[in-house]
Chains A and B, each alone.
Chain A
Amino acid sequence: MIGPRSWIFQVVVRFAFFIINVFALYLLLRGHNQPGGGFIAGLASAAALILLSLAIGIEALHRLIRVDPVRMAAGGLLLALLSGAGPMLGGAAFLTQFNWHLHDLPLLGELHVGTPLVFDFGVYLVVIGICAKIIFVLVESTEGLPGLVVEEERRYSSPLEEPIEERPAAGKEMGRDAD
């Protein structure tokens, strides 16, 4: 599934990657008042990432973007949670949102910012993270699932994952093998 590694394709895709991401950010920022928002922006950014990965390959992308998409998603979830939990410090209910209007900004003109944007940004990160991770994992698995398993296990596994029934101490198992 790795796309044609032609130079033109790579250049075009790199360019498109930035364009799409800028557009996605625009969608995210205007989402509150116009069609758009975290889900759409996240999907757009994820599509851009996937496109880039098809052009330059997953390895190169890993070198380019160091953060693991799952961590990005987890970070987004945490951000959304914190933006919801923040108002609780002030005694407000969970997920209470606050808004402020900013006037006369350069380029953007009128902009309102508020906790909904933080929340939406969390959604954005989650959507990018999960789309990118699932696609990357599936793509990587063509190039040898073994390598992927080792890599991901190094990253996420714990000693507890080792199957209990196969602990070397189990005398019965060893005995049966000896038979």
Chain B
Amino acid sequence: MTVTIFALKELMLATGLDAELVSRIDPARPLIQQGVDSVDYPGFILAFEEACGVKVSDADSLRLKTLDDFLNFAAART
């Protein structure tokens, strides 16, 4: 998968996140502040790992706060 903000948002939709919530997400702001909750977040991390073929360590899972963080993380590893 070519990792772009659009692709990450598509991934969020595939994990069942609400379409309106996803459309409003600002890539520079923490996802938690924008309505992505403790149930959605781990689901997105797992989908991200599978789609991008990367492993998110436990410590990294606390540092990946924004969509930009996910984008940069994937870019640095693929």
**A, B from the same assembly:** no
